Amino acid sequence: MITSRFLGTLEANEQIDIRSEVSGVVKSINFQEGSKVNQGQVLFKVDDIELQAQLSKAKTAEKLAAENERRAQLLLDKQAISQEEYDIASADFQSANAEASLISAQLSKTIIRAPFTGTIGLRSISVGTYVTPSTPVAKLVNTSKLKITFSIPEKYASRIREGSNFTFKTSDASKDYSATIYAIEPEVEIATRTLRMRAVADNLDGTLYPGAYANVVLPLQTVNDALLVPSEALIPVQNGKKIFVAENGKAKEIDVEIGARTGSEVRVLNGLNVGDTVLTYGVMALKNGAPVTVEIEETVLKPAE
């Protein structure tokens, strides 16, 4: 299996800044910092005494307007008033009803609830704090799943599909995690000639954190009988790469064309044959035709898995 490595970033599945939609004094706080909260749970309340008074006044006006509209309808049926007079009474009732509904909507916004299940962070308010819609209260983050965003060169675009699986590691963990690609940008970024994509990984144990780097190991292609050599065997030269092989007790220089890499090996496309003995130690000091002693530790060339 030919793989390539890319650098990605872990992101929360869902993340928002909790804020109040109305201005007012915080009456109560109903969450513990760093705790898990459920969708719909009350997080804090804003003092609603003024809105309650406004609603009571609006309800009284609505009740009076409703009675006036009822009387106007009776008079209209008896042709005691004009249609215009009835329309005015009806409009007054509708306006009073809308005013009461508006205040009721504002009143409901004084109770702030969690929009989704997640972990709430450190709060920046206390009881008695005057908050406005621009006041950040705390972050709410859902980390049961994490998103991984990364980019690959455009030459690999045709090899990746939604639903493709891969593994990744973080900088502070040696464990391999699994993820699945679920979304791919529909176009290549012209500036970088890369294609952005996003994957999702389970994080039920809470060992992964949003914002961390992810070292993505992406399987790109399965090649039967591919030749892989240790990366330390390659020597950069002006027009490419070369390696040394052992032939009749002497070092022989060979120009090679290389392809994809794994973690410690490189695929050789041209220049080598199966059975060649590749030299891996002291190659930078070797010269073509220099005598060498070979100690074979493993199979020198092997097909990719």
Residue 131 lies in a domain: no
> What pLDDT is recorded for position 225?
67
Mean pLDDT (the chain, rounded): 88
Of the listed ranges 82-96, 133-147, 178-192, 261-275, the least confidently predicted one is: 261-275
Residue with tokens 């009803």: 97
Q: 249 is in which domain, residue-wise?
A: 227-285
Residue 273 lies in a domain: yes
Higher pLDDT, 296 or 269: 269
Residue 276 lies in a domain: yes
- Number of domain units in the chain: 3
From the list 236, 287, 234, 235, the residue with the least C-alpha distance to 265 is 234
Residue 122 lies in a domain: no
pLDDT tens for 155-209 read: 888 888 898 899 998 877 678 899 999 999 999 999 999 999 999 999 988 888 8
Strands 250-261 and 265-270, how do they pair?
antiparallel
Residue 124 lies in a domain: no
Tokens of 267: 């695929």
Confidence of residue 303 (pLDDT cuts 50, 70, 90): very low
Residue 261 lies in a domain: yes
Rounded to an integer, what distance in angstroms lies between the CA atom of residue 304 and that of residue 222?
Answer: 8
Contacts of 28 (CB under 8 A, 6+ apart): 44, 45, 127
Q: Are residues 6 and 153 in the same domain?
A: yes
Query: What distance, in Å, lies between the first and last C-alpha atoms of the chain?
Result: 5
What CATH number is attached to the domain comprising 252? 2.40.420.20
Rounded to an integer, what distance in angstroms lies between the CA atom of residue 116 and that of residue 96?
Answer: 35
Dmax over CA atoms of the chain, in Å, equals 123
Summarize the confidence of residues 214-233 as an average pLDDT. 77
Q: Which of 57, 92, 109 is where one domain is finished?
A: 109
pLDDT at 299 over 60: no
Helices 49-77/83-108 angle, 10° precision? 160
Of the listed ranges 143-147, 158-162, 261-265, the least confidently predicted one is: 261-265
> What pLDDT is recorded for position 224?
62
pLDDT at 10 over 80: yes
**Helix/strand/coil for 91:** helix
Residue 135 lies in a domain: no
Count Cα atoms within 13 angstroms, Cβ side, for 225.
4
Q: How many helices, marked H, and strands, marked E, lie in the chain?
A: 2, 18
What CATH number is attached to the domain comprising 175? 2.40.30.170
Summarize the confidence of residues 115-131 as an average pLDDT. 94
Summarize the confidence of residues 144-152 as an average pLDDT. 93
Q: Are residues 71 and 94 in the same domain?
A: yes
Q: Are residues 105 and 63 in the same domain?
A: yes
Rounded to an integer, what distance in angstroms lies between the CA atom of residue 43 and that of residue 37?
Answer: 8
> What pLDDT is recorded for position 304?
46
pLDDT at 300 over 50: no
Please say whether the beta carbons of 170 and 208 come within 8 A: yes
C-beta neighbour count of 140 within 10 angstroms: 22
Higher pLDDT, 133 or 279: 133
Rounded to an integer, what distance in angstroms lies between the CA atom of residue 148 and that of residue 164?
Answer: 13
> What pLDDT is recorded for position 234?
86
Q: Are residues 181 and 232 in the same domain?
A: no
Q: Are residues 272 and 232 in the same domain?
A: yes
Residue 69 lies in a domain: yes
> What pLDDT is recorded for position 260?
66
- Whole-model pTM: value is 0.63
Rounded to an integer, what distance in angstroms lies between the CA atom of residue 229 and that of residue 265?
Answer: 5
Q: Which of 221, 251, 267 is where one domain is finished?
A: 221
pLDDT tens for 248-260 read: 888 888 888 887 6
